[in-house]
A and B are shown apart, each in its own frame.
Chain A
């Protein structure tokens, strides 16, 4: 018999109540049960960082967590960044201006890694940025423009956090 657990999860400020099978991964729950497809799934074993989300404010890999483990916790996905349909977050604006993405597949993971990092480290050096994003893989950009975008984002976020 398949077990099913009722869970209550807050995602981007909105509470969701669902029943889940324990083996459902958190990333699949977010994408398929909630319909927030901004969280991408790359490697499915915690290496690429595309599925990075905030779990109680800290970046984690949602592909190597179970949905049932999110019960009672607060998540934030890339959809939670922009204030409205019209107004992007300064971090998103910086990626847009500095060409911090090409195909964009890895971008949600980079944004969700950089958001708490830049909030805690408002004035990072390039080396520190490279260390901060070392757990996120990008196959298009060669990282140069991502680093530029992150440095630009730091300035923007200091001006309007």
Chain B
């Protein structure tokens, strides 16, 4: 102990420095309790006013000071943005609905089975108890599950500003790496998922090194059959193999009009992994491995979606 004390600077004797408790950089904080108040703040502060939804991506980034927003608009007090309801043949989900709430919702399970299947793949239960549906979509992480699901189902996004609202199609909502097409005075307030039509099956699959980790590759698949059992419509959307959800259009087109079978699924997997995507690779998977995973998962997901489409008369 004495030895340690002797190392203490002698010129300026004083108490040892207090532990630095603050991990995030300073910011101004507002927690409006109504959407109107939040939109007012958004119109005043624009891009400076960073919305805080579940914070399960933003606060870690702030802890490391990778993100240093100057002003946070915490949306967690706006209970009006937490709901799941059926409306005009769509499932309407409030942007601040917890992922865990959607995960265990019986209507979601029945009407939007792809969403129900994908949510348990989002990190861990502790994260889903805080993370929100709208937050994850607006964050637009290319490795995230929800953007892929939203695009595969052609979900619609309701954005609102002080003056009014507009609807944005999923294909227009995602605007590249961690970017969405919201204007600086807008907030995402609701997402509309179409209900599953008859003769349609979906499947979500991903491969991660450990349960809850970011996946190395994965996809949301949708297959719609016509009266003769041939493929009428297909959708294959991949995660973590581009700068956002990757819509494999050529692979999907290759299936149209075909009898769904193993050969057709294999071909679609080849087209998707070789022509529709250009994965960059990461620490855990080379681009070739990501293509390989995507091809194999395509075959499996299409086979499962086909089985489910046959069962959903």
Stretch at the interface among B125-133, B166-174, B294-302: B125-133
Is the Cβ of A23 less than 8 Å from the Cβ of B24? yes
Q: Which of A23, A25, A52, A68 meets B26, CB within 8 Å?
A: A23
Assembly CA distance A68 to B100 (angstroms): 22
Q: Which of A21, A55, A58, A135 meets B123, CB within 8 Å?
A: A135
Assembly CA distance A110 to B127 (angstroms): 15
Interface size class of B (residues with CB under 8 A): 20 to 34
Stretch at the interface among B52-60, B197-205, B257-265, B304-312: B52-60
B124 nearest CB neighbor, chain A only: A135
Task: Give every chain A residue within 8 A of B56 (Cβ-Cβ).
Answer: 46, 61, 64
Interface centre among B31, B123, B124 (most CB of A within 10 A): B124
Is the Cβ of B125 less than 8 Å from the Cβ of A22? no
Q: Does A63 contact B (CB under 8 A)?
A: yes
Assembly CA distance A107 to B72 (angstroms): 33
Is the Cβ of A25 less than 8 Å from the Cβ of B63? yes
Assembly CA distance A49 to B211 (angstroms): 14
From residue 109 to 146 of chain B, which have CB atoms closer than 8 A to chain A?
A: 123-127, 129-130
From residue 148 to 164 of chain B, which have CB atoms closer than 8 A to chain A?
A: none
Given contacts A45-B64, A135-B126, contact A64 B28 (CB under 8 A): no
Task: Give every chain A residue within 8 A of B124 (Cβ-Cβ).
Answer: 49, 134-135
Task: Give every chain A residue within 8 A of B243 (Cβ-Cβ).
Answer: none
With A45-B63, A134-B211 already in contact, 11 other A-B pairs whose C-beta atoms are closer than 8 Å: A22-B72, A44-B23, A46-B59, A46-B123, A49-B126, A59-B125, A60-B130, A68-B74, A69-B31, A69-B74, A69-B76
27 A–B pairs (Cβ distance < 8 Å), ordered by A: A21-B22, A22-B27, A22-B28, A23-B23, A23-B26, A23-B62, A25-B63, A32-B21, A45-B60, A46-B123, A46-B127, A60-B129, A60-B130, A61-B56, A61-B127, A64-B55, A64-B63, A64-B130, A66-B29, A66-B55, A66-B74, A68-B31, A69-B31, A131-B211, A134-B210, A135-B126, A135-B127
